[in-house]
């Protein structure tokens, strides 16, 4: 499980840490930097998939010319904080009582505006350094290996992902395969109802980032009796419809169509279902599918969800993430969510705040804002979040008490 990420000179973050739990929420005003955190996760995901730095940042096309990977928002030009030449991302990855820490500092080549290279890379396990490599070193010598990797390793790709297959049997590197698998299996769901209404082919059993293949994914889940029973219980709770079953007729085009059957026998096509119902179905599918990803990132998780159903959605996510198999990170504009989540999720709820008059953003646990815990218990934080109380409190606690972005003294 990832337990923290440190962002240094990355986009609008100078040096910030975000604590990650089983279910983590990120709140903050528009343009504060919430989506920049998502971009950091996407960067790590691209590395986990084996891409070079330039591919992970600027996009990758497959051999047939099709787009395989979309560039990170803004592309190479806006990845590094204004005025800086190198950014770094550090990740803490925990398995039981053991921890792997991975850090990579990257920047553009002098002669190539869009070509990135690794400048520093570090890996440690349980605070014991496994290796540290710097760009000015000619040798690439790793523990347990007698060979010099300098001539075979690319400088525009992390060492860790290049030696992945070589270290699986090495005790010192025992957490590496799990870490690579974790970041490689991340998913970033930005659900679009119209894409979820479309039929899909039976072989497409992976939910697309925009909700594609929903019928065939749900059909796959229903093949497992226990999984189907659990899914139907959540569907009945989460949707206003009295759904008792799902049907998956095969169309003349060979594709699976999704139909919702209600208690009175009415059968409704997914094409007529509400946006909120489809979003619930997709989230259920993501969390219950047999070969689920290790971490899901939902942007604006409350989008299209009626406030009365948010508690049930939170219950679903907290129930599934508590099992320890998956993590969920989500951004939200919903004030209600801060009062709904349990204590563990609240502990891993962070606010992103952009300093007034600057481009700098900070990340702070909501629970560490003065009086936040007491106010959550006494009156909830929903109204205070909507009214900008968190930003005001952070302006004072971070030394911007006059509201003009200038430090106060004394």
Q: pLDDT by residue (tens digit) across 289-327?
A: 877 788 999 988 888 777 778 888 899 899 999 998 899
User: Containing domain of residue 248, as a range?
Assistant: 196-292
More confident residue, 77 or 192: 192
Establish if 142 belongs to a structural domain: yes
Are 250 and 379 part of one and the same domain? no
pLDDT at 110: 64
The full DSSP string for 245-312 is EEE-PBPTTS-B--EEEETTS-EEEGGGS-HHHHHHHHHHHHHHSTT--SEEEESSTTTT--HHHHHH
Are 281 and 297 part of one and the same domain? no
pLDDT at 183 over 80: yes
Are 393 and 315 part of one and the same domain? yes
Percentage of the chain surpassing pLDDT 70? Answer: 94
Average pLDDT estimate for 14-39: 92
- Whose tokens are 């760009």? That residue is 135
Specify whether the CB–CB gap between 36 and 52 falls below 8 A: no
Average pLDDT estimate for 357-382: 83
- Give the domain-ending residue among 262, 292, 322: 292
- Give the domain-ending residue among 292, 325, 350: 292
Are 247 and 310 part of one and the same domain? no
Are 155 and 10 part of one and the same domain? yes
By residue count, the chain amounts to: 410
pLDDT at 407: 37
Average pLDDT estimate for 53-71: 88
Please give the mean pLDDT across all residues of the chain: 86
- Give the domain-ending residue among 292, 320, 336: 292
Establish if 74 belongs to a structural domain: yes
Average pLDDT estimate for 270-281: 88
pLDDT at 212: 94
Establish if 163 belongs to a structural domain: yes
C-alpha 290: how far from chain center? 19
Q: Predicted confidence band at 400 (pLDDT cuts at 50, 70, 90)?
A: low
pLDDT at 147: 73
**How far is it, in rounded angstroms, from Cα 335 to Cα 325?**
28
pLDDT at 135: 84
pLDDT at 114: 60
pLDDT at 5 over 90: yes
Are 97 and 122 part of one and the same domain? yes
Are 134 and 267 part of one and the same domain? no
> If we measure between CA atoms, which residue out of 97, 89, 166, 100 comes closest to residue 128?
100
pLDDT at 393: 79
Are 34 and 150 part of one and the same domain? yes
pLDDT at 111: 56
Are 283 and 307 part of one and the same domain? no
Establish if 139 belongs to a structural domain: yes
Are 225 and 85 part of one and the same domain? no
Six token digits for residue 396: 């004072």
Q: Report how many domains make up the chain.
A: 2
Establish if 368 belongs to a structural domain: yes
pLDDT at 403 over 50: no
Dump pLDDT digits (tens) for 78-119.
899 988 889 999 999 999 899 999 999 999 876 555 688 999
Establish if 323 belongs to a structural domain: yes
pLDDT at 45: 96
pLDDT at 359: 80
**How far is it, in rounded angstroms, from Cα 345 to Cα 332?**
14
- What end-to-end distance do the CA atoms of the chain give, in Å? 42
> What sign has the CA pseudo-torsion 388, 392, 395, 398?
negative
Are 59 and 172 part of one and the same domain? yes
**How far is it, in rounded angstroms, from Cα 240 to Cα 50?**
43
pLDDT at 399: 67
pLDDT at 145: 77
Are 231 and 367 part of one and the same domain? no
Establish if 191 belongs to a structural domain: no
Long-range contacts from 301-305, C-beta under 8 angstroms, 24+ separation: 301/330, 301/331, 301/332, 301/334, 301/337, 302/332, 302/333, 302/334, 302/336, 302/337, 303/279, 304/193, 304/275, 304/276, 304/279, 305/276, 305/279, 305/280
Establish if 260 belongs to a structural domain: yes
């Amino acid at each position: 499980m990832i337990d923290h990420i440190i962002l240094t000179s990355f986009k609008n973050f100078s040096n910030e840490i975000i604590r990650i739990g089983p279910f983590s929420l990120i709140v903050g005003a528009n343009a504060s930097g919430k989506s920049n955190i998502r971009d950091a996760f996407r960067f790590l995901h691209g590395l986990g998939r084996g891409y070079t730095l330039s591919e992970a940042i600027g996009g990758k096309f497959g051999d047939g010319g099709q787009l395989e990977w979309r560039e990170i928002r803004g592309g190479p030009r806006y990845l590094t904080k204004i005025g800086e030449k190198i950014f770094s991302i550090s990740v803490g990855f925990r398995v039981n009582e053991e921890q792997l820490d991975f850090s990579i500092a990257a920047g553009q080549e002098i002669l190539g505006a869009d070509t990135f290279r690794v400048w520093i890379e570090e890996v440690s396990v349980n605070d014991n350094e496994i290796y540290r490599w710097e760009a000015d070193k000619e040798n690439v010598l790793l523990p347990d290996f007698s060979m010099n990797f300098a001539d075979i390793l690319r400088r525009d790709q992390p060492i860790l992902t290049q030696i992945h297959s070589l270290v699986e049997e090495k005790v010192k590197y025992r957490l590496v395969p799990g870490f690579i698998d974790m970041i490689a299996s991340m998913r970033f769901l930005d659900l679009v109802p119209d894409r979820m209404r479309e039929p899909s082919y039976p072989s497409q059993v992976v939910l697309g980032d925009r909700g594609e293949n929903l019928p065939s994914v749900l059909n796959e889940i229903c093949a497992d009796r226990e999984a189907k029973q659990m899914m139907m219980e959540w569907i009945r709770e989460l949707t206003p419809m009295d759904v008792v079953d799902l049907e998956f007729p095969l169309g003349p085009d060979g594709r699976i169509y999704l139909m919702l059957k209600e208690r009175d026998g009415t059968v409704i096509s997914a094409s007529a279902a509400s946006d909120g119902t489809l979003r619930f179905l997709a989230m259920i599918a993501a969390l219950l599918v047999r070969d689920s990803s290790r971490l899901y990132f939902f942007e604006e998780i409350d989008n299209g969800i009626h406030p009365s159903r948010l508690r049930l959605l939170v219950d679903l996510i907290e129930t599934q993430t508590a099992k320890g198999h998956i993590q969920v990170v989500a951004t939200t504009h919903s004030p209600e969510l801060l009062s709904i989540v349990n204590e563990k999720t609240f502990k891993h709820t962070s606010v992103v705040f952009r300093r007034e008059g600057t481009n700098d953003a900070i990340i702070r646990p909501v629970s560490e804002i003065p009086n936040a815990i007491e106010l959550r218990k006494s009156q909830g934080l929903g109204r205070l979040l909507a009214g900008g109380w968190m930003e005001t409190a952070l302006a004072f606690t971070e030394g911007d008490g006059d509201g003009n972005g200038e430090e106060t003294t004394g």
